[in-house]
Amino acid sequence: MSLRIGLGFDSHAFMPGIPLILGGLKIDHPEGLAGHSDGDLLLHAITDALLGAVSAGDIGTFFPPSDAKWKNADSTLFLRTALEEVALAGYKIVNLDCVLIMHRPKIVPIAAELRERVAELLHLDMKNVSIKGKTPEGLAQDSTAVAHVVVLLESIELPNGDKLLALTADAPDQADIDGVVSSLVDDAHDMTALGRKRPFDPDDLT
């Protein structure tokens, strides 16, 4: 079994007149977080942690803020992309620990709801998702929200039965290979089932 750790970070300034989105939830608060997308810094930090754990770049690699098509985008899309990269690398999430640093809103009253939503998005048991709130004591960031995330991944192992099947499968000998080659050369094959439904017309290229 192989383990990997990912670290994610994001920060956004508060701005009046826009909704506050955290962890995929709309939070009742007079100010939201400014950003090119929906400003969901918690999902952004989780996305970066997942991508970093499998060395797949960062959120800007896939969704650059210079690209207008991601303007006001739902950050759950970013998270789904990171989950796909984790799966393609052969890993799954064990658990994650998140810290949200801001004066307002208070995180403790909404932490359970946030944990439930994030667990749902990540297809995890809620007990494997930790979300904590801290205030920026002594830091000059009263109008800013910050998120830190650490995620632990483990490699996906094949069941023993599948491993045994792969180890004991007979390798083709030269006669098998010669037979396949001969059938491809000598036999007539119907090509109509390979995707082309009508004869090729050179005018198709213009």
Interatomic CA distance for residues 99 and 101, integer angstroms: 6
Residue that has been written with the tokens 């799954």 in this structure? 92
pLDDT computed for residue 140 by the predictor:
73
Chain segment 78-102, per-residue pLDDT in tens: 999 999 999 999 999 999 999 999 9
DSSP output for 81-112: HHHHHHHHTTEEEEEEEEEEE-SSS-SGGGHH
Domain membership flag for residue 67: yes
Q: Is residue 54 part of a domain?
A: yes
In a domain, 102, yes or no: yes
| Domain-located, residue 96 | yes
**pLDDT tens for residues 95-134?**
999 999 999 999 999 999 999 999 999 999 999 999 999 9
Q: Considering only 22-26, 66-70, 169-173, which range has the smallest mean pLDDT?
A: 169-173
**Is residue 179 assigned to a domain?**
no
Q: 47 vs 195, which has greater pLDDT?
A: 47
pLDDT value at residue 116: 98
Is 132 within a domain? yes
Residue pLDDT, tens place only, 164-194: 444 444 545 566 555 544 554 455 444 343 3
Look at the chain and report how many structural domains it folds into. 1
Contact predicate 44/149, CB 8 Å: no
CATH of the domain at 58: 3.30.1330.50
Q: How far apart are CA 38 and CA 114, in angstroms?
A: 16
> Which pLDDT belongs to residue 142?
79
Domain that holds residue 30: 3-155
Kindly state whether residue 99 falls inside one of the protein's structural domains.
yes
Q: Does residue 151 lie within any of the structural domains?
A: yes
- Whose tokens are 């826009």? That residue is 18
Strand-pairing partners, residue 8, are: 149
Average pLDDT over residues 125-149: 91
Determine the Cα angle at 129 with ends 127 and 131, to 5°: 120
The whole-chain average pLDDT of the chain stands at: 83
Report pLDDT for 33.
94
Contact status, residue 153 vs residue 3, Cβ threshold 8 Å:
yes
Give whole-number Cα distances, 97 to 13, 71, 161, 190, in Å. Answer: 22, 28, 34, 57
pLDDT of residue 147: 97
